[in-house]
C-alpha cells in the first residue's frame, strides 16, 4: 500500500528479564514480563509485515546479535539495525537520519501499543505523503506511540526527559517553533504497567481483530501462569 520511498522503523529491545517491562516485572516477575514484551513485539511485527508494503527496519537494542532478533529476521521480511545513541532521543534521531537520508519519509513505532493497527499506519503514511512534515499519535501517558517525519531534525529529540508525562507536549511545542506542518492523530495507550495490561485483557474480544484476540488470549495465559 505504501511506496518504496517510505520506511517503517520499529524500535525494540531484546526480551532480557530485568531489562524490559520493569514496571510490569514488579507485579508479575521479570521472567513473565520479558515474555509479555516478546509477545508484544511479535504482535507488532506481524501486524506491520502483513499490512505495509514499504521496507520495514527493526532497530534493535542493545544490538542485532540477540537470538530473538535473529529469529525475527528469519520469520519476517525486514532488515535489522542497531540503535545508536546515549538516550532514546539520540537513538530515534539517528534512526530517522539514516532512513530519511535515503529519501522519502519514515514512520517510527515501538512495540508497546498492541491496539495500533494497519489503519493507523495508513493514516500516518498518507499524512506525510500529503505534504505534512510530521505526524504523531499521542499516548495516554503523555508520550507518543508513533512519530512520522518527512525531514530530519535532531532538535525534536534532544534534551527531553523521556518517560515522563510531558514528552508529547514538549515535542509538539518544538514542532511549532520549527514552523513545521504537522498533524495529531487519534490518542492511543500502550502497555507499561499492570493497570495497562489489565485494560488490554479486559477488552471485549469478539469486537477485535483476530490477531489481537489471539494476543490477548496468550497474554492472559502468561499473566495467570508463573
CATH label of the domain that carries residue 30: 3.90.550.10
Say yes or no to pLDDT of 4 above 60: no
Secondary structure class of 82 (helix, strand, coil): strand
Residue 41 in domain: yes
Range of the domain at 20: 6-192
The C-alpha atoms of residue 17 and residue 10 are separated, in whole angstroms, by 21
Selection from 99, 167, 104, 180 nearest residue 137 by Cα: 167
Selection from 203, 195, 194, 168 nearest residue 182 by Cα: 168
Residue 163 in domain: yes
CB neighbours of residue 146 within 10 Å: 21
Q: What is the pLDDT of residues 54-96, one digit of tens each?
A: 999 999 999 999 999 999 999 999 999 999 999 999 999 999 9
Q: What is the dihedral of CA 115, 40, 56, 205, to 10 degrees?
A: -40
Residue 139 in domain: yes
**Domains in the chain, number:** 1
Residue 90 in domain: yes
Residue 92 in domain: yes
Model confidence band, residue 224 (pLDDT cutoffs 50, 70, 90): confident
Residue 19 in domain: yes
> What was the pLDDT predicted at 226?
64
Secondary structure class of 215 (helix, strand, coil): helix
> What was the pLDDT predicted at 71?
98
Residue 206 in domain: no
The model's pTM is: 0.95
Residue 66 in domain: yes
Secondary structure class of 196 (helix, strand, coil): helix
Contact predicate 8/121, CB 8 Å: yes
Amino acid at each position: 500500500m505504501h511506496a518504496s520511498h517510505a520506511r517503517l522503523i520499529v524500535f525494540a529491545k531484546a526480551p532480557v528479564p530485568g531489562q524490559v517491562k520493569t514496571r510490569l516485572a514488579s507485579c508479575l516477575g521479570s521472567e513473565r514480563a520479558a515474555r509479555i514484551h516478546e509477545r508484544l513485539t511479535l504482535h507488532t511485527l506481524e501486524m506491520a509485515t502483513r499490512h505495509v508494503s514499504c521496507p520495514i527496519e527493526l532497530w534493535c537494542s542493545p544490538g542485532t546479535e540477540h537470538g530473538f532478533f535473529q529469529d525475527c529476521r528469519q520469520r519476517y521480511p525486514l532488515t535489522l539495525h542497531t540503535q545508536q545513541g546515549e538516550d532514546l532521543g539520540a537513538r530515534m534521531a539517528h534512526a530517522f537520519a539514516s532512513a530519511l537520508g535515503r529519501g522519502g519519509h519514515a514512520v517510527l513505532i515501538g512495540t508497546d501499543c498492541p491496539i495500533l493497527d494497519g489503519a493507523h499506519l495508513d493514516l500516518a503514511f498518507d499524512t506525510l505523503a500529503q505534504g505534512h512534515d510530521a505526524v504523531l499519535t499521542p499516548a495516554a501517558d503523555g508520550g507518543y506511540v508513533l512519530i512520522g517525519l518527512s525531514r530530519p531534525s535532531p532538535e525534536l529529540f534532544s534534551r527531553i526527559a523521556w518517560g515522563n508525562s510531558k514528552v508529547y507536549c514538549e515535542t509538539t511545542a518544538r514542532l511549532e517553533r520549527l514552523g513545521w506542518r504537522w498533524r495529531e492523530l487519534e490518542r492511543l495507550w500502550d502497555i507499561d504497567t499492570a493497570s495497562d495490561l489489565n485494560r488490554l485483557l479486559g477488552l471485549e474480544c469478539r469486537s477485535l481483530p483476530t490477531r489481537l484476540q489471539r494476543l490477548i488470549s496468550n497474554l492472559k495465559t502468561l499473566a495467570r501462569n508463573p
